[in-house]
Structure 1
């Protein structure tokens, strides 16, 4: 059975290797970081590790099945995801579980597991934009047929996420703008989308329900010397972890700041990694994400179809920007946010949706491989999506 699975595993081998490396590193970091959490819960650290391992294995399984599905099917799935996502985001804002004044989670029925709806929203919007930009190319300058549906979807998802999770909303908005540029939307129309985004951003920051939190975090970041010690505690503990890590680190499992640093297994896992593996470990992890981005760029440029190129570009940009945003916060280059490190931070639904995103990218890569190996062959799956156009550039 294992040989059968391995024989069906296609796509970029470097990306598969990156997934394995990040998963192993995640197990090591989470096991080291969850001692205090386990003590507070009255359980052993091994039980938390096993739960995390289950999500990693489940994520890899989802990645495997996602990469087997022809990427063109995701064009149709994106419509269904958007229909589900927008009401779900609205439901989360009104009835979701509130943690630290942020309503980002809903409880999955009949379980105790929470679900962060913005994880689904990221996947839904990127796939929907890739589909819409591909199918509307002939009318891409048409305001009614192309621009309004595109602008509407971006702005609605942005505002619904931003009210509870501004950092995720800003990153998703940035990825959306990159896709609009790749999709040949005119500079004038992109400027209008950016202006609308700025207006919505101003409304969220100055009038939204979490306005005081956003203002406080920005103030702490810009003027740390004047900040209340309680409000700058996370950033300060992260800097201590990084400073004491040195060049080669204290060694796996030897972190001391894990006992003081809030969320060393999720939001600040990169600080713990630098403390235990040193500057060399931190740089190595950053290089892994850069290699992932480079391999994805090769997939984008090799994709014969616009939908595949836009899909791989949007998902890879989203994952890479998220990774470096998490790292930037840990090293003090940005205000504190709740952005996890893809495939490394502990997290349930975040791990699963990230794995699906990797799987979709691998699906595009698998399609390219198959066409290279059988350039003369006919493929009935080409008929799945009507209106495909050649990839840009």
Structure 2
């Protein structure tokens, strides 16, 4: 039977105790609707509650809640129990205190989400094995930091980590330690051309999207995509960190904290780029025309945020995707050039060489076999 998570936006008068009472009422009659309540989360501060339920379908959950207490959820999504546990740390009710009749769970489902991307930015013929050795060493360091700061791994690939933290302070300190290890003498990876980008955002599991924490993950990934080589904190993460750590200084050299306006600009840029990047005619003129900025305004904002001009940002985005296609052996060089928006294989090869220090043909020979 599928598992669903629903979201209730709770009024000011409703407390964690009220939510516990509603959960108890659900459990009394759940069998009538073929449901099984697994657990719930309640966040009095943000006025949200989330239920995790085994159910035959979404309608059964609506009917159960309506019959039990009348508080029908505002949103229901299907989820994977293992993924929920990775993000939130549990899929069952915590043990009830022996001194209480109700199992009051005042545990917010609000989490700080971290995305780590390891990006290869240069290649040397014959350095594939030294690179692999160094990256394995560095990934062990990353895993050690995650454990130290109580992070949970949701997804892990060779060049990507998706993590969840209950504590915003732990998330920020973990990011700082990971970044500092990259630049330490004992772990220096500069000769292998590794660029580390870390994005942190915070949010709740169920929004208008179809997947758990989807909005938050997308935003953290976009931070990595648009601002390379730094730890990027959303405005909310930075505000929460500062509220928990008065007068605690962070290393600002590797840190970028965003304003709400900058976050909106990132979404504008990425929404449009993701839609148009494969179009060979897509350039900075399209950016300024469709985003409502003059060319000079757009240039200044892009340089300030990404250190790249609009055209260089587009080219870099295309090359990053081209590298992934070649790595997967998904297409040959000519097909890759046209698929990623370059108007000729020759120009693609020149841009690839300028950016990565190796021709795409040499890359395919040395790094994809």
Output the TM-score relative to the length of structure 2.
0.24
Output the TM-score relative to the length of structure 1.
0.23
Decide which structure has greater helix share. Answer: 1
Whichever of the two has the greater Rg, that structure is 2
